[in-house]
Amino acid sequence: MNRRLFALVTVPFLFLLVGCSQIQDAATDAAGDAASQAATAAADRVQQEICTAVGDGQISEQDQAVLAGLLVAAEAAGVPSEFTTPLEDIAQAGDQLPADAITALNTACGVTPTPTPAG
């Protein structure tokens, strides 16, 4: 009788444990997916901000300050190096912006620089 009672109590308990484990796995997977989506959204948003600053293909002093401020956010968000490497060069440049960094950033953003008027 004790064995039968033990089996009657133990079997449902085991099913409950297995079910809880599957629920926990599903919750963990969902949380991981949500975190991944949030990280991707953050990286996309920072990239948008970077590309907005260089939208005309030129980088003013104000744009340089904005880009320097976005460098930390870009690195933290996992923005690709095609953006962060030229950002770092621009942030550290001072008065003379490196043309290759500007070109690389324009290329990463898909921006064609507008020619400056002669005159």
pLDDT tens for the chain, 119 residues long, are 566 655 555 556 555 555 555 656 655 665 666 667 777 888 888 889 888 888 877 788 888 888 888 888 889 888 999 999 999 998 888 888 888 998 899 899 887 766 555 54
Is there a domain that residue 71 lies in? yes
Residue type, 103: T
The pTM assigned to this predicted structure is: 0.64
Is there a domain that residue 72 lies in? yes
CB proximity list for 80: less than 8 A, separation 6 or greater: 108
Is there a domain that residue 80 lies in? yes
3-state secondary structure of 118: coil
Is there a domain that residue 46 lies in? no
Is there a domain that residue 53 lies in? no
Is there a domain that residue 118 lies in? no
- Looking from the CA of 10 toward its CB, the CA atoms found within 13 Å total 6
Structural domain harbouring 98: 61-109
Tally of domains in the chain: 1
Please tell me the predicted confidence (pLDDT) of residue 89. 92
